[in-house]
A and B are shown apart, each in its own frame.
Chain A
Amino acid sequence: MTEIDSVSKIIVKTTINQENMELLISPHQSLLEMLREVAGLTGTKEGCNDGNCGACTVNLDGRIVDSCLVLGAETEGKSIETIEGIAKDGGNLHPLQQAFLEEAALQCGICTPGFLVSAKALLEKEPNPDEQRIRLWLAGNLCRCTGYDKIIRAVQKVAEDNN
């Protein structure tokens, strides 16, 4: 469906995964829509679109946010990291991505990018969180398939390797 837009579009200058970008967006578009529909970065997923599920989690200036609850326009001059920016060095997976594979911490995969972005932020802040801390930190990310244990184990594995 094409939406007739009575409000002029704006240009947002922002850094996404360390790349400077200028994006032409509608002022009412969410950061999630900006990433997926304008920047073409579809790794960030839409789940509930109202801040409950965390599938759309991205890192905004060092803090995890639900990108559905941020306007694209608010990210002017800010730095965003999405799931696409997590694996570096020519395709080597991030240790968390590797651990998610090894621990089978995903089934349908829709929640996975959000969990990875959230977990990465935790381990950067606190390299050795205990299980309770991991569960609390990830409370804003919902998974309807795994029952969480495998996800928690994958994060614990990376945390233990940090020791």
Chain B
Amino acid sequence: MHPFKYIAPENIDQVLNLLSEYGERARLLAGGTDILVQTRTGRFDLDALIDLKHIAETTKLILGLESLVLGAAVPCYQIYENPEIVANYPGITDAASLIGGIQIQSRASLGGNLCNSTPSADGICPLIVHNSTANIVGPNGPKSIPVAAFCTGPGKNILAKGEFLVSINIPTPKSGFGSAYERFIPRNEMDIAVAGVASSIQLSDDGNTIEAARIALAAVGPTPIVAETSNQFLIGKQPSEESFYEAAELAASAASPIDDMRGDIEFRQKLVNVLTRRTLNTALKRARSN
């Protein structure tokens, strides 16, 4: 491993200066559960790792009226140990509770999961179905983009040179909202998703109609996939076995998985179908109790 410096800046401007100084020779460190493995295995040759855990904006977790602002370096346990987040952001809580084991959840952040941009990331699809936006800063100032538009390929994202993710905004759900994330792995814990599905449902005020639905698919394409045809189909429908079945069929055809050691194409499409129905049913249950 190439020896690198450890730098712990205390504000965003210092990070931007360091990124401009080091360019490709530096990476950012949040939980470290991906980046330290990647530097050790030679994926990056770095001169510096820049720790984001001494900066207010990247380490804060603010439950505001409009949204939950989740700093890019906030570790998973801070999500599932917060009763208010558990109650209002169930799909995100699902993901934070199943990424790695307890040791990983002590460190790993959803911001890091997003920036690592692997297709199998458990944290990204729940953020998508919660309509989250990524708050980015760079040499040209701050900007916000939907998390759904963040990933551009396996391990690739829209972050340009000198830019970094500061935080994620997750809108505060209205009543009648529910979400869920489930993945399939051959073991019970500690594995990479063969396929994963996040779903969210917004029920109408009378609870009889789906006002909006969002379904996002993990590990079945080069990036997390938004199952747009399913989302459109469910608008105005009554939540039922039949409508969920149809939405799941549409989601399975939106998937474009590869064959690999974890599963073949047909298996992954089948998984998407089953997981879509399951997460829709869980999201519905949660929407009705919210």
Contacts and interface: CB of A to CB of B under 8 A. Distances in A.
Say whether A associates with B. yes
A140 B4 contact: no
A71 B30 CA distance: 11
Contacts of A49: 40
Interface in B161-207: 188-190
Interface string A33-75: 0000000000000000111101001001001111011110110
A112 to B, nearest CB: 16
B212 to A, nearest CB: 33
Categorize the interface residue count of chain A. 20 to 34
B102 A71 contact: no
Given A7-B4, A7-B5, A28-B3, A57 B103 contact: yes
Contacts of B245: none
A26 B4 CA distance: 9
B53 interface: yes
Contacts of A52: 190
Contacts of B5: 7, 27
A140 B6 contact: no
Contacts of A28: 1-4, 6, 39, 49
A69 B6 contact: no
Contact of B103 (A64, A71, A136): A64
A51 B4 contact: no
Nearest to B4: A28
B6 A54 contact: no
Nearest to B51: A74
A140 B107 contact: no
Contacts of A54: 101, 103
A140 B32 contact: no
B6 A50 contact: no
B103 A66 contact: yes
Given A50-B40, A63-B77, A71 B6 contact: yes
A141 interface: yes
B106 interface: yes
A140 B101 contact: yes
- Shortest 6 CB-CB contacts between residues of A and residues of B: A140-B101, A139-B189, A27-B6, A73-B6, A63-B106, A7-B3
12 contacts: A28-B3, A51-B100, A63-B77, A69-B31, A69-B33, A69-B37, A71-B29, A74-B32, A118-B103, A137-B102, A139-B188, A141-B101
